[in-house]
Structure 1
Amino acid sequence: MPDLTATAATSSPAAAGDGPRGSDFARLSRQITKAGLLERRPGHYIVRSSLVVIAFVGGWAAFLAVGDSWYQLAVAVLLAVVFAQIGLLAHDLAHRQVFRSRRPSEIAGMLAGNLAIGMSYGWWMDKHTRHHANPNHEDHDPDVSPDFLLWSREQAAESSGLARFIGRRQAFLFFPLLTLEGFNLHVSSVRALTRPVIKHRGVEAALLATHAVLYLGALFTVLSPGKAVAFLLLHQAVFGVYLGCTFAPNHKGMPTLRGEEKLDFLRRQVLTSRNVRGGKVLDVVLGGLNYQIEHHLFPSMPMPNLRRAQPIVRAYCEELGVAYLESGLVDSYAQALRHLHEVGAPLRARVGASG
């Protein structure tokens, strides 16, 4: 695994990123601001939100029209895609890409997250903020905490119990485990509301409860118990896989940090992130997160501006000598899986030696 601190030390004449005209990031930020790429894009979000709402209402209308039939499994897949798109829209709301101020962002975020898809907006925002502050830092980024999957050999050496058991074959188990991610989001959301750090806990709890009553009520009123359970399992599984596949290419398999942080902001964000090449269809499918480097440098930049920011950021990184990684979609997953397999190698070797 590359040494990020060593990479940073040799990537620029000003290793710490400081110079007479300010930090490396400050100079890039001035270019981005001058290009107008931090300006809001209300037209985009009006159209996008309208299409998502139409798809959401249309999906549930199709559910009611199909009735008690096994064809509902197709509706379950459709609604899973719609739920994921709502989740991506909630992501943009949390970063204030849609509204400048906090209150409308929170209101829209809770309606999209808590009420529409059953995910706590406050919990997710708290978790995602910590991820952005320290991406791929094993001590501070909750997305690389070794709950089930292990992201470094150091984590593998320190692992025990279920994490150690899964870690041996985690590359093969990665996609099957994603089928549980939808359920994990719901459980984590409910658990988070017991913590006082979450604002508006009462409102969030009421919206989550309303979602659960309407969602489960619709399933078990329209469908027979067996079909309702099948719909629930398939819908949540596809929802989890979609969201997981949206976020997995961005940092998984990239270098991780431990202990004392030594990178400046620009290098911390760029060297731990990976972009995914693709056209405008991929932009829609991944919600713009295929421009992960640009998103991490400028989290409040509206999604449609990320494509325009990319050549500026890439050229600037080349000028500084900072590694800027882009991969195809399939290759990005392959890199992540190879990394997971490599991390689990010592655990497999230990089992083989003991056997």
Structure 2
Amino acid sequence: MDKVKWGVLSTAKIGLSQVVPALQASEHATVAAIASRGQGAAQAAAVSLGIPKAYGSYEELLADPEIEVVYNPLPNHLHLTWSLKALEAGKHVLCEKPLTLDAGEAAKLAEASSRAGRLVAEAFMVRHHPQWRLVKEIAGSGRIGEVRAVQTVFSYFNSDPSNIRNRADMGGGGLYDIGCYAINTARYLLDGEPERVMGLFDTDPALGVDRLISGIAAFPGHRHLSFTCATQLSPCQHVRVLGTRGRIEVAVPFNAPSGAPTHIAVDDGRDLVGGGREEIEIAPCDQYTLQGDAFSRAVRGEEPLEWGIADAVLNMRVIDAFFRSARSAGWEQP
């Protein structure tokens, strides 16, 4: 198949450092253009990364007839606006998480996607990494018995008031930024939707954004997700999948390195010192490249889109319920 031509909205760090290089290394995608709010920034990024075209406005990129897919890594509060504009311009859209700021906005994007006949997906790159597919396969095989719980920790330290993750007016905060991963991966592993959720939030008094969140989600079949995410704690990532006869541990679940192997462990629980522990190594890969190739193949009709806009709407419903729980101090239904 011919490579799909991608355009990137903005010179956001994640795009320049992660997604663009990954797309350039992919089999089915090529980055044909990048846009910024000024020609200088766009041109500098294009020269640095070897991108053929640079535009000094987002509108110019959307008007380029060669661009087939738009990657949207803009600040969270701009996801809906520019994803809608991209669809109206006839482009497919891969948008960074969270797709929008609530499920109502996500539903508007779903309607626009349907009208335009173009694909929209939320950029949860982790689902494309082989380690997650292996975890799901083992969890579903019966090797650890019946899966009853998923426990997730995801944290980093960032108290910079100018950072978009700490700007309440831009959709900042820990649940939007990293708590969404805990929700998304639990839905993937448990193959279902939570029936009710409860969240405990700590808000930074100066920044006005959630900096520490602990949540519980009850899934059908007496299965639970429990997670803690934080933007002002020491860096940590860990996922445990707990079953009636064993457990799976994912060492680096979300920011898996592209140049080094990743590891999961399966433990049959015979003792507390790892007597029944098997370490499994997964070969190095770039989950952003895999994500770009999968989306490009879907654009060409080579295979269906595994996680489209409908999945993103469901994830946003759960996030909305956690925010409602913060206000009600009780259980909420997505």
TM-score, structure 2 as length reference? 0.26
Task: Select the structure with the greater relative contact order (CA < 8 A; seq sep ≥ 6).
Answer: 1
Task: Choose 1 or 2 for highest CA Rg.
Answer: 1
Choose between structure 1 and 2: higher helix proportion.
Answer: 1
